[in-house]
Amino acid sequence: MDIVYSINRVPIRLTEERWDHIISNKPYMQSYYEEILEGVESPKWVLRGYAGSLIAVLSLGKQKYLHVVYREVSRDDGFIITAYISHKLNRSMIVWPKKS
């Protein structure tokens, strides 16, 4: 299990069970382990997810975005739910960085 800190300074866990879930459903994600952790710790954007989740987004090049879905359960605990790569970014859901 690895732990990184979100933009809100909440420790976010990537458990073995969640990693197995990610790569069993999306085998192409096998080589993105470090990028998933980096995405939560240093995202380009954070989007509002569903049911209280957040989505950290890391740009991987021209119109290729790593999305890491995670939940902050409390100020002291959170976990990664899943991750995937998309060619789209829903800019209307951005919650960080705040627009001035």
Question: What pLDDT sits at residue 62?
Answer: 86
Question: For 55-100, how does the pLDDT look when each residue is reduced to its tens digit (9 = 90+)?
Answer: 999 999 888 999 999 999 999 999 999 999 999 999 999 999 976 5
| Torsion angle, alpha carbons of 34, 96, 9, 78, to 10 | -70
Question: What pLDDT sits at residue 99?
Answer: 64
Question: What pLDDT sits at residue 100?
Answer: 52
Q: What token pair was written down for 51?
A: 């049911």
Would you mind telling me the total number of residues written for the chain in this entry?
A: 100
Residue ranges covered by each domain of the chain: 2-96
Contact between residue 11 and residue 77 where contact means Cβ atoms under 8 Å apart: yes
Contact between residue 5 and residue 78 where contact means Cβ atoms under 8 Å apart: no
Q: Is the pLDDT of residue 16 over 60?
A: yes
- Average pLDDT value over all residues in the chain: 94
- The three-state secondary structure class of 16 is helix
